[in-house]
Amino acid sequence: MTDKLDRGGLAAVYPQGHWPPVDPARAALLLIDLQRLCVAPDRGMFASAEQLGIAERMAPYGRRLEELVLPNAAALAGAFRAAGAPVIYTRIRSSIPDGSDRSGCHVRLGLLVPPDHPDGDIVAAVAPGPDDVVLSKTTSDAFIGTGLERLLRNGAVEHLVVSGVLTNECVSSTVRHAADIGFTVTAVEDACAGIEHDLHEASIRILGRTYARIATTAELLREVGGS
């Protein structure tokens, strides 16, 4: 994808080199935080917005989830499974009821999803398959406090494809970490979202300059499916 926000022509300062296509034999799909807390219209962030009287401000995010992110994430997961490539989910959830395992950021935000709380469930539209992996985390970065890196290294994964929410928070943190520790990363623009779309766009712009190839779901489906 081109940098649609390169209004000053400065993207040329960041030479991209060669981004390889996805080879499912050496790739994995990471679906970040597609759980009830973050994407269910009647729970979590949506419920909080309703209580605050600002539900209408969440409407664009909700539409993007329903029309793009969840269908595209489901399509990607199906394609990766069919190709025999790993599908890995993350979710925000503590392993201790009082949340004493949370990051400082989550503590400051008052963000707590206790063990077995419904807000930790992956939504049905992108339900994990029997061979998929679900990792719980209490941080923005999916590599911190989880076995994600070990899982990828042990599976000989070199290329990480990322979808999920929020683009400007957990997605961005995870993509940057993956790139810094040597993975090739593809972020799927139309399978990610932020509550505020301008922050999503800015984050995609930043990631695409330095850390990741930015692609569409259609491009990934062609590569993974071999068509």
Runs of H (alpha helix) within the chain: 36-39, 44-51, 55-64, 70-82, 104-109, 148-154, 172-180, 197-210, 217-225
Q: Please name the residues in contact with 81: beta carbons below 8 A apart, sequence gap of 6 or more.
A: 87, 129, 131, 132
pLDDT one-digit tens code per residue, 38-97: 998 888 888 788 888 888 889 999 999 999 999 999 999 999 999 999 999 999 999 898
How much of the chain, in percent, has pLDDT values that exceed 90? 74
User: 7: helix, coil or strand?
Assistant: coil
Q: Please check the confidence at residue 115 and state whether its pLDDT lies above 90.
A: yes
Q: What is the pLDDT of residue 52?
A: 85
Domains of the chain as residue ranges with CATH: 23-225 (3.40.50.850)
Query: In the chain, helix, strand, coil percent, each to 5?
Result: 45, 15, 35
Q: What is the pLDDT of residue 109?
A: 82
Q: Please name the residues in contact with 95: beta carbons below 8 A apart, sequence gap of 6 or more.
A: 101, 115, 136
Is the pTM higher than 0.95? The answer reads no
Instruction: Count the Cβ atoms, other than its own, within 10 Å of residue 226.
Output: 9
CA distance 146 to 163: 18
pLDDT one-digit tens code per residue, 131-190: 999 999 999 999 999 999 999 999 999 999 999 999 999 999 999 999 999 999 999 999
